[in-house]
Structure 1
Amino acid sequence: MSAEVAALLRQSFDPSTSKQAEERLRQAETQSGFASVLLEIVASTSIDLPTRQAASLFFKNYVKRNWEDDEEGQKIALSDRQLVKDNIVSFMTRMPPTLQVQVGEAVTLIADTDFPAKWDYLIDSLISQISLTDMSVTNGVLQTAHSIFKRWRSQFRSDALFTEINFVLSRFCEPFLAIFKQTDLMIDQNRNNKQALDILLQTLLLLTKVFYDLNCQDIPEFFEDHMAEFMSVLHKYLTIDLPVITAGEDDDVAGPLQKVKASICEIVELYTQRYEEIFTMLPEFVNTTWVLLTQVSLEPKDDILVSKALSSLTSVVRVPRHAQLFESEEVLKKFVELIVLPNMSLRTSDEELFEDDPIEYIRRDLEGSDSDTRRRAATEFVRSLVEKFEQKITSIVLEYVKVYLTQYAADPVSNWKSKDTAMYLISSIAVKGSTTKFGVSSTNIMVDVVEFFNVNVLGDLHAGFSERHPITKVDAIKFIHTFRNQLTKQQITSVFPMLAQHLTSPNYVVYTYAAVTVEALLTMKRDGQTLFSTLDVAPFSAELLQNLLSLIERGSSPEKLAENDFLMRCAMRVVISAQEGIATATEVTVHHLNKILAEISKNPSNPKFNHYFFECYGAVIKYVGAISKEALAQLEAMLTSPLLMILQNDTTEFIPYAFQLLAEMLEMHDTKEDLPLAYKQLLQPILTPTLWDSRGNIPALVRLLQAFVVQGPSHLVSEKLLEPVLGIYQKLIASRANDGFGFDLVESLFACVPLQALEPYAQQIFVLPLTRLSGASKTEKLASRFALFLATCASTQQLGPDFAPSILERIQPGLFAQLMRSIVLPHTSQLASPSATTKRASCGFGRMLASCSMLKQDQALWLQTLTTCLKLLELPAGAVLSDAGSLLQQQQEEETMADAALMALDEGFQASFAKLVCSAPLGTANQAYLALAQLQGSTNVDPRRFLATCLNEQLEGRDTWLALVKQQAAETVPVLQSYGLNI
């Protein structure tokens, strides 16, 4: 098996065989011993390194997909799991560092699930591998330890967390200190031995990382007791110079010594922020860091070190009792002159990055990926000084700003870098509060941002492309982006055409910054309203889209075309903002989108770009398709073929998007009309079982299938497709991950398909979830979703309140009451969000209270159901939608969801399924949604009034029941009266 798997891994390198090889590897995953085979390949020195690297990556992803057993049951046998845990540590210690990283991530994933409860010997296994003479082996141990411990850095404090940390500390502290001391000794002994030092400095770097891990939540007693030993060594290596290592270093890449010093600075920052009261050596570290910052070079190799050193000083400034170290004007001037200015000025390497790798230049600045750059660190340092010494530091920096602006004015062509430094300095002192999403919220009162804009920025925007250096242009655009909240709508409106004009700039960075800023301006809100209305944006939309999409199409390959997600995000925002205002440009816009799709489908490479791209499609359909039947038909004519091509070519990354867009268009058809022929032809293929094997496809497939059910229930019956659809329901309901989608599907069937056609299957439909609820695979989610299912059945027009109870009694006498008491009512509180779910549940229980004969046979259960329903409805004001404003709130919720979705992407979140927020048409445009909600009896009602109406008008023997309420649940009477109940 090992040779076969290795051969498949090699075949995965070749584009012509990669897909088939990957499929066969995924099939091999299910075989016993597969994980161990992968590990053996990674550890084998007789196999070529590329194959071992591929095996390490596949192993990590295999663990990520299969180790957790709480979704689909246990995917990896216990014996295989045990074999992996028994051998992975010894394997990892023998691997080269390039392989240790991937396997280390796998160890982290396994530890997340199993350590310490199911892997209590892990730390002992690590300690047993430690060698105080062979540091290459010990490095493997430390790398593995760091892989496990680093997850503590981002976790919230809890008893369970500290139990785990203490478990590790009780075993690991003494061996850790021994390695620490031995490494220091061996470095001293090998100061002129480069080969030895390369390994030892890697050991020291891993030691500092593990040191941080072990101290990140609280300072352990062991470390407090040995603080002098640890800190004296750390201080030594912050000052050390090892010429044999630094001689001949690459100026562009951080060497081992820079990495060690940067890691020590992180420890200093941690101790300053968390343990400064007992950190007695802090003043020594401050002085050393100050000297270090005045001595390091301006080469990129020192960037990370400078960033971390500045960050540690920033943390010291923010500690009130240490701020006095910096408060004299003389000290502040030295900081600005010797540390801030050199690290805020543009360097040759920055210019080279601007020219040679513009997208990286942009990402470092805009996405926060420059958190390790000098400029951002220097900016944060200045802002920390402004927090403590606002007047002094502002006056000092403004003097330098004047100097740089004067230099620029004297010779704009030669001294453009002076203007660039001035712009960064102004930003560093002017901004007091800001967020990535909303921009600057408060500014320094000593800096007139608007005046600076009028005098020093506006002219650069007006100037032609050849009249200003591209970086000067970028600085001007970025100033608007940064301080957009401080400008009036009139000012922003006046510069908007200039920003749009910059989309035609020949410079990559300039037009990208213009797109980023346009997108930010279009999202601005004031007093709860979008600053630019649809009417404001529509006149510009066609030209903006033409320019943005044409820029994207310049990409010379699928990868280059999808590289610039900033442009695609702006295009998406233009469509969302212009809404139906883009109707006249629909044909041109979709033509561009289709051309882009044809290219990126060849090799989907940028998930962010892809998501914004399909959101753009979704927004076009949403706003243009709602205008008229003809507009929808035009869109279908242009879009159906490209979307079906995605399915035909099995472009895995795009298939869920294609299903969502097809569902969106189908949902917009009038439900009273026959199912369109093009969709009829699609129905059979989407029932193919293999499509449903991919979890990423399921949410979109269920939505599309629901649209088919709502639009063409008679077609399902006449074509004998009901059983295949129910087969899918059976598959979904059996899955812990997908049971909610199963309920969504069957609720649509019960609402739309004639009951006569469903009757033969009704009992089995209920048996499937009941089987899980009575067994080991019962979950809280399943129980609460079953409660909603029962309520939905009660409010569905063609079923009524007696339908579900009668089916349950057929399965087993007394089952309805038993389930209500043990499953349904105890889990109803979990239906309190979102509001649409609350409404559906409460409407269903209202009908049951009024008209369910089986419920009314049990007075105690009836009262319990009433009080549970009232608890569900008694949420904070506005949490349950009534008729008034429901559509507006729906739109606001969708806008919030859109922002959340985009923020998730910004933060690097990726999932196998990404919901298209823009593909959910609002109001009457979504015919399928409205029809389904109407059939389920939960639309256009105030659920509180609905409950009162049910009890007032439909409850037989009303007086008797209400007397029971007064007698046994008197506390509910005022609540019911406030709903409109006559009692």
Structure 2
Amino acid sequence: KLVTVNTVVLQGKLLQKARIIFEYSTQGFYLLTAISDLCCCSGVIYLKNMVTQHWSEGDNANTEGSTSNIPEEDRQFIRDHIVEAIIQSPERLRVQLTTCIHHMIKHDYPARWTAVVDKIGFYLQSDNSGCWLGILLCLYQLVKNYEYKKPEERQPLVAAMQIFMPMLKDRFIQLLPDPSNDSVLVQKQIFKILYALVQYNLPLELINRQNLTEWMEILKTVVDRDVPPETLQVDEDERPELPWWKCKKWALHILARLFERYGSPGNTTKEYTEFAELFLKGYAVAAQQVLLKVLYQYREKQYVAPRVLQQTLNYINQGIAHAVTWKNLKPHIQGIIQDVVFPLMCYTDSDEELWQEDPYEYIRMKFDVFEDFISPTTAAQTLLFTACNKRKEVLQKSMGFCYQILTDPACDPRKKDGALHMIGSLAEILLKRKIYKDQMEFMLQNHVFPLFRSELGYMRARACWVLHYFCEVKFKIDQNLQTALELTRLCLINDNEMPVKVEAAIALQVLISNQEKAKDYITPHIRPVMQALLQIVRETENDDLTNVIQKMICEYSEEVTPIAVEMTQHLKIFKKKKRYAYVKNMELILEEKKLHIINCI
């Protein structure tokens, strides 16, 4: 039996019709496979646009002219069949349909659509494994609608999840022995639901001592289990997208979030005080033991997906401050720093490849704040800082390790880069500790200044970076300050490698801002310095460098006045370039849309 759904959007007059054809079977409604993919995709995209723009009576409040929403009869039909459509649709259509159900839940649940909970419950309990992923996508959209709401606004979700949480747990336990692709995809989706549920608020009505124990066992099992060996045949760049690694990533997301936000006594809000004590004393160490095995695998050169490594380091970092987890971690910390943190902070083959092939992309990646949120290197840097800041003996041993590398004349330059990366990351601590702060000028003089003559661009860039992070060091010898400024200035103006010039620009500005005598030394050179800065901004379009120019103008307001016209011309060219790039980008987007419309027709 064929059912044709006409959904009509009226705006003063009938504008358009969208038809989605469903075929009824014993398993429910699903998109008719006989329809060409192109027509089917076009219809679903039209349905998505119609639902997102016209579903709610409030959606059209700001549009001009008279508008009318989707008729209630059609809306009810869509409510009745959207869940089955998502379950039965191929992945390329699910993306559009899940956007539809997200919007429908946002406006209709719970007031006009409590039936969605009944449907989700029905299919979650079904023995037909083919429907599990689709129904979990529906449940995920329900949870996502409440992800950022205040606890008092989440009651409709909590009421639904009191039904679903036991089902999800039982389904996961059932799937754990099955390592197949389809099974692990379902497991991953359950974790995504759980993470969205607890990311900003932990519903204590749903998480109690008994089910927390069961969920923690599930999480540890997933993190600890082996990834199928055949995945090593997949290209390394593509492995993180495999479901086995994604499932581990989401398990670690949950563990790290529980520990950081709810399981750390002293760092939580009062409603989570009891939970924090329970988590720290009852679960944190056991989870830590499993995560130490992940770090051991990385240490032994076994492949670990970057996000898995990053989240593992985040969890380990959280345990440094607490006595119970530190006691378990302490025997391992030096090994972690030397065999995990240090390699992550060294210049790598992938860094070299990107530097040589696309230095501008290398700059963008290194200065992208969003990259920092997902970078194992940033997580390693944070762990190192926390350990050295909270545990004195760690700082002493780490600095000894770094100095051993720096003083070895035969040492691999990449290892020296890693050692300087570690020392620079600890600059804030080192400049506050009497035993170290008086040695930092000597360290710069003996181990950083010589690197400005290195043939390796990344070493010159690291030298600039270290000066940036030690910009507040108290120079006892004026000549050392002058040397630091001169070396940085020459890198900015004369170096042939753009990443080096960018690091030099930032280092020079912070040195001028933090060293009283620096301003006078650079004054005679301000014209070529500003010209170099403007040229780099034009070429890289880096926002950090725009801030550098602003601060330099503030420092040298009188000195830059004679070259103000020239600077204005530079900036005008830069703005035109950005505007041209924006226009060309928009033209490309519009051209792609035209082609898509033509294909649909």
- Structure 2 residues not aligned, in runs of 5+: 1-8, 23-29, 263-274, 591-601
Aligned residue in 1 for 2:132: 138
**Correspondence 1:310 to 2:304:** no
Cα shift at 1:202: 1.4
In structure 1, what is the equivalent of residue 374 of structure 2?
372
Letter in 1 for 2:181: D
**What amino acid maps onto 2:70 in structure 1?**
S
Say if 2:44 and 2:93, in contact at 8 Å, map to a contact too.
no
Q: Which moved more, 1:222-231 or 1:234-243?
A: 222-231
Deviations 1:911-949 (A, max 9, x none): xxxxxxxxxxxxxxxxxxxxxxxxxxxxxxxxxxxxxxx
Contact residue 188 and residue 246 of structure 2 kept, 8 A: yes
> Shift in Å at residue 351 of structure 1?
2.8
Percent identity between matched residues is: 16
2:70 equivalent to 1:79: yes
- Aligned partner letter, 1:226: N
Structure 1's 379 and 121: CA in aligned 2 closer, same or farther, altered over 3 A? same
Amino acid at match of 1:72: N
Change (3 A) 1:159 1:553: closer
Partner Cα separation in structure 2 for residue 205 and residue 475 of structure 1: 39
CA spacing shift, 1:430–1:37, aligned 2, 3 Å: farther
Aligned length: 544
Equivalents in 2 of 1:88, 1:200: separation in Å?
24
Q: Distance in 2 between matches of 1:32 and 1:95?
A: 29
CA contact (8 A) 1:477 1:499 kept: yes
Q: Which has the higher contact order (CA 8 A, sep 6+)?
A: 2
CA distance in 1, matches of 2:337, 2:18: 57
Equivalent residue, structure 1, for 2:420: 423
CA distance 1:158–1:235, shift in 2 (3 Å): closer
Give the secondary-structure state (helix, strand or coil) at the position aligned to 2:157. Answer: helix
Corresponding residue number in structure 1 for 2:327:
324
Gap change, CA 1:178 and 1:252, over 3 Å in 2: same
Alpha-carbon deviation of 1:38? 9.7
Q: Aligned partners of 1:30, 1:574: CA distance in 2, in Å?
A: 58
Cα deviation for residue 395 of structure 1 reads: 1.7
Cα distance between partner residues in 2 of 1:488 and 1:123 = 67
Superposition deviation, residue 405 in structure 1: 0.7
1:218 to 202, 222, 240: 202
For 1:295, the equivalent position in structure 2 comes to 297
Q: How many angstroms apart in 2 are the aligned matches of 1:86 and 1:380?
A: 50
Could you say which residue in structure 2 is the equivalent of 1:277?
Answer: 277
> What is the root-mean-square deviation in Å for CA atoms of aligned residues?
4.6
The answer to whether the aligner puts 1:445 opposite 2:437 as a matched pair is no
Distance 2:50 2:303 in 1: 33
For 1:140 and 1:287, the matched residues in 2 are separated by: 35
1:941-980 residue CA offsets vs partner (Å, 9 max, x unmatched): xxxxxxxxxxxxxxxxxxxxxxxxxxxxxxxxxxxxxxxx
Q: Go from structure 1 to structure 2 and tell me whether the alpha carbon gap of 1:222 and 1:586 turns closer, same or farther (over 3 Å shift).
A: closer
CA offset at residue 290 of structure 1?
0.9
Which SS does the other structure have where 1:250 is aligned?
coil
Is 2:55–2:70's contact at 8 Å kept on the other side of the alignment?
no
Deviation at 1:200, TM superposition (A): 1.8
Shift, 1:424, TM fit: 2.4
Contact 1:43 / 1:92 at 8 angstroms: preserved in 2? Answer: no
Question: Contact (CA 8 Å) 1:385, 1:393: kept in 2 or not?
Answer: yes
Select the residue among 459, 468, 486 that pairs with 1:481. 468
Counterpart-to-counterpart distance in 2, 1:258 and 1:507 = 37
Aligned amino acid, residue 354 of structure 2: L
Q: Match of 1:828?
A: none
Q: Normalising by structure 2, report the TM-score.
A: 0.74
Aligned to 1:515, which of 505, 514, 527? 505
| Rounded Cα–Cα distance in structure 1 between residues aligned with 2:145 and 2:435 | 42
Q: Deviations over 1:115-144 (max 9, x none)?
A: 445654443444445475555542233234
Matching of residues 92-131 of structure 1 within 5 Å = 92-97=86-91, 100-101=94-95, 104=98, 108=102, 111=105, 115-117=109-111, 119-130=113-124
Equivalence for 1:635: none
**CA shift digits 1:26-78 (9 cap, x unpaired):** x99998787966999x9786455799499759957994899764962699744
Structure 1 605/143 Cα, relative in aligned 2: closer, same or farther at 3 Å?
Answer: farther
Distance 1:316 1:61 in 2: 49
Aligned counterparts of 2:445 and 2:96: Cα–Cα separation in 1? 48
Determine the structure 2 residue equivalent to 1:176.
168
Quote the Cα distance in structure 1 between the aligned partners of 2:521 and 2:530: 15
Verify the 8 A CA contact 2:440 2:473 in the aligned structure 1.
no
Change (3 A) 1:91 1:292: same
Q: Is the 8 A contact 1:266 1:308 kept in 2?
A: yes
- Under a length normalisation based on structure 1, what TM-score does the superposition of the two structures give? 0.48
In 2, the alpha carbon distance for the partners of 1:43 and 1:346 equals: 51
Corresponding residue to 2:158 among 166, 174, 182: 166
Which residue number corresponds to residue 189 of structure 2?
A: 206
- Determine if the alignment matches structure 1 residue 503 to structure 2 residue 506: no
Higher Cα Rg: structure 1 or 2? Answer: 1
Q: Within 1, Cα distance between the matches of 2:385 and 2:174?
A: 41
- Structure-2 residue corresponding to 1:339: 340
Tell me how far 1:270 sits from its aligned partner.
2.9
| CA shift digits 1:866-888 (9 cap, x unpaired) | xxxxxxxxxxxxxxxxxxxxxxx
Pick closer, same or farther for the CA change 1:131–1:165 going to 2, 3 Å. closer
**Residue 596 in structure 1 maps to residue 574 in structure 2:** yes
Partners of 2:584 and 2:12 in 1: CA distance:
30
Q: Contact 1:39/1:88 (CA < 8 Å) preserved in 2?
A: no
Find the aligned partners of 1:464 and 1:109 in 2 and give their Cα distance.
57
Aligned 1:699-714 pairs, distance under 5 A: none
Partner AA of 2:422 in structure 1? L
The 5-angstrom pairing of residues 380-779 of structure 1 reads 380-390=382-392, 392-407=393-408, 410-411=409-410, 415-432=412-429, 445=433, 448-449=436-437, 451-456=439-444, 460-461=448-449, 467-486=454-473, 495-504=484-493, 505-518=495-508, 542-551=527-536, 553=538, 562=541, 564-575=542-553, 578-579=556-557, 581-604=559-582
Distance (Å, rounded) in 2 between the aligned partners of 1:54 and 1:340: 51
User: Shift in Å at residue 256 of structure 1?
Assistant: 2.1
Aligned partners of 2:216 and 2:283 also within 8 Å: yes
Q: Secondary structure at the match of 1:286?
A: helix
CA contact (8 A) 1:32 1:80 kept: no
Pick from 208, 214, 222 the counterpart of residue 229 of structure 1.
214
Amino acid at match of 2:139: A
Q: Quick check: 68-77 or 132-141, which moved more?
A: 68-77
Q: In structure 2, do the counterparts of structure 1 residues 289 and 115 end up closer, same or farther at CA, with 3 Å as the change threshold? A: same
Find the counterpart in structure 2 of residue 350 from structure 1.
351
Q: What is the CA-CA distance between 1:387 and the residue it aligns to?
A: 4.1
Paired letter, 1:333 = Q
Q: For 1:605 and 1:298, how far apart are their aligned partners in 2?
A: 47
Q: Distance in 2 between matches of 1:72 and 1:227?
A: 46
Which residue type is aligned with residue 176 of structure 1? L
Paired AA for residue 509 in structure 1 = P
Residue 89 of structure 1 contacts residue 125 of structure 1 at CA under 8 Å; is this kept in 2? yes
Q: Which residue of 1 aligns with 2:268?
A: none
Matched, 1:256 2:243: yes
Q: Does 1:246 align with 2:231?
A: yes
- Please say if residues 519 and 573 of structure 1, whose CA atoms lie closer than 8 Å, have aligned partners that are also in contact: yes
User: Structure 1 461/294 Cα, relative in aligned 2: closer, same or farther at 3 Å?
Assistant: same
